[in-house]
Amino acid sequence: MQKNMVELVFGIAKEVVEKLASIAYREISLGNSIESDLKKLERTVSAIKAALEDAGEKQPLNRELDTWLTQLEDVFHDAENLLDEVECQVVRRQVVKMHAKIGRKVRRFFSRSNPLVFRISVGHKIKEIGVRLDEIAANKAKFHLAEKPERNDHVMMHGRRLQKTHSFVRASEIVVNGVGPLSSSLINECIVKFKHLRMLNLSNSSFEILPSNISRMKHLRHIDLSRNYKIKKLPNSICKLQRLQTLRLENCKELLELPRDMKCLIQLRFLSITTTQRRFSKNGIECLASLRTLFIGHCKNLVVLPHNMRRLTALETLVIGDCENLILTEEDDNNHRKTKLSLRTVVFGLLPKMMALPNWLRGCETSLQYLCIEDCPNLTALPQWLPNATSLAKLEIHKCQGTSIATRGTASTRLSKRIEDVRMSKIGGICFSSG
* Distance between CA atoms of residues 376 and 357, nearest Å: 11
- Determine the pLDDT at residue 200: 85
* Distance between CA atoms of residues 115 and 155, nearest Å: 33
- Determine the pLDDT at residue 418: 65
User: Are the CB atoms for 207 and 179 separated by under 8 Å?
Assistant: no
- Determine the pLDDT at residue 140: 82
* Distance between CA atoms of residues 333 and 307, nearest Å: 11
Instruction: Classify domain 151-302 by CATH number.
Output: 3.80.10.10
Which residues fall within 8 angstroms of residue 138, CB to CB, at 6 or more apart? Answer: none
- Determine the pLDDT at residue 232: 94
* Distance between CA atoms of residues 138 and 66, nearest Å: 16
Residue pLDDT tens, the chain, 435 long: 345 678 788 888 878 887 776 665 444 445 667 778 888 888 888 888 888 888 888 888 888 888 899 999 899 988 888 887 777 666 666 555 554 455 554 444 444 445 555 666 677 888 889 899 998 888 888 888 888 765 444 344 434 444 444 333 334 555 555 545 566 677 787 777 777 778 888 888 888 889 999 998 888 888 999 999 999 999 999 999 988 999 999 999 999 999 999 999 999 999 999 999 999 998 899 999 999 999 999 999 999 998 889 999 999 999 999 999 999 865 555 555 668 999 999 999 999 999 989 989 999 999 999 999 999 999 888 888 888 888 998 899 988 876 555 444 455 556 656 676 777 776 665 555 555
Q: Could you give the 3-state DSSP secondary structure of residue 104?
A: helix
